[in-house]
Amino acid sequence: MKIITIQNGKGGIGKTTTAWALATGLPQRHPEFKTLAIDFEPSGNLTYLMNGDFVNSPTMYHVFNGDVDIRAAIQHTDQGDTIAGNSSLTKIDKLFSGADYLKGINTIPRQTYRQQREDVV
């Protein structure tokens, strides 16, 4: 399995669009590839592009909070497989700083941690 992270400190330069293009384009051109687009943004923009549901379905927040197994959070849409993001992700800093099972995250330099929250395919 390969994890591709689209990261840049500047806003509005096509991170989400690139993540969507990779998630949808790779399997179209190379059917041997399966992709899963994971949206870590509170805006839910990647979920929107993937035609996912970010209102009634579990998001990555619910996965990290232990509410659902990550497999149960995967949505199968006409754009491909995706895990939703929405405004619940604004609470994730608090969750990470308080959760015992994620103690190790506090040892990761803050910039690296931020990078992990960008769009992931």
Ligand X SMILES: Nc1ncnc2c1ncn2[C@@H]1O[C@H](COP(=O)(O)OP(=O)(O)OP(=O)(O)O)[C@@H](O)[C@H]1O
Using DSSP's 3-state secondary structure scheme, residue 8 falls into coil
Q: Smallest distance from the beta carbon of 24 to ligand X, in angstroms?
A: 13
If one asks whether residue 4 binds ligand X (CB under 6 A), the answer comes out as no
Q: Does 16 bind Mg ion (CB under 5 A)?
A: yes
Query: Which member of 23, 37, 40, 45 binds ligand X (CB under 6 A)?
Result: 45
Using the structure block, give the residue that is written with the tokens 């592009």: 49
Distance in Å, CB of 17 to ligand X, minimum = 3
Note whether 13 binds ligand X by CB under 6 A. yes
User: Which of 55, 48, 20, 54 has the alpha carbon at shortest distance from 35?
Assistant: 20
CA distances from 31 to 28, 34, 35, 68 (A): 6, 7, 10, 29
Interaction site with Mg ion (CB under 5 A):
15-16, 45
